[in-house]
Amino acid sequence: MLSTLLDFFFPPRCPNCSSYVERRGGFCPACAQRLIGLRSIARTPEAAECLAGIWALGHYREGVRDLLRALKYQKRRSVLPDFETLLEEGETVLAQLPYPLTAVAVPLSRERAQERGFNQTEEIFASWLGKHSIELVPALVRTRATAPLYDHTRTERRRELRGAFAPAENLDVTGLDILLVDDIMTTGATLIECARTLKRAGAHRIYALVLTSEHI
């Protein structure tokens, strides 16, 4: 009833262009075609050593980028329903993966987590994963903050990330198939380092699913 009233007085709009849409959290067809779409990301030999597959649900640009920035830097959890259309793209990925599957979010540093008050990746994925009976567990910890990696060489990225993640002491991932989730993939170096850490801790197969990617 409340939802119906809200839609009557405040009709849902596309998060990107503000045109009217059928449901809250939906993008208009033109924006959806430009910003949303499941993509399998080509794995480098380095990534293929520890990741069995990498998928992105959308592009990190325009309204999608703005929504993520609003969540991360303005702490606006009210934008979370706007990610539902992107998450729906992940149904195809889950159908390809083994079951049972355990999800792990890329962790924030202690300082960033305290500053923000939440891990945006957990906020985005937790409910959707729960609907598919996939438990999201804090199996990784970030041991220190790291510098942005965009302009680094591959060697520099590896050096910056070496030792930045560790297995959580109270969780055993031995033999588990893991779905590693994150909000943005840029170089892929963070996902690779997290996957390596999980592999060393005994995980079986590791897959990565990111909400957005800067890869074309």
- Domain-located, residue 14: no
Which of residues 140 and 216 earns the better pLDDT score? 140
Instruction: Identify the CATH number of the domain in which residue 151 sits.
Output: 3.40.50
Q: What is the mean pLDDT of residues 167-174?
A: 93
- Domain-located, residue 15: no
- Domain-located, residue 17: no
133: left (phi over 0), alpha (psi -120 to 50) or beta: left
- Domain-located, residue 18: no
CA atoms within 13 A on the CB side of 122: 16
Residue 7: per-residue pLDDT: 54
Asked if residue 67 lies in contact with residue 82, where contact means CB atoms within 8 angstroms, the answer is yes
12 falls in which pLDDT band (50, 70, 90)? confident
Give percent of the chain with pLDDT exceeding 90. 63
- Domain-located, residue 19: no
- Domain-located, residue 143: yes
**115-133 residue pLDDT tens:** 899 999 999 999 999 999 9
**64-82 residue pLDDT tens:** 999 999 999 999 998 999 9
Taking alpha carbons only, the member of 15, 136, 145, 173 closest to residue 85 is: 15
Structural domain harbouring 52: 37-213
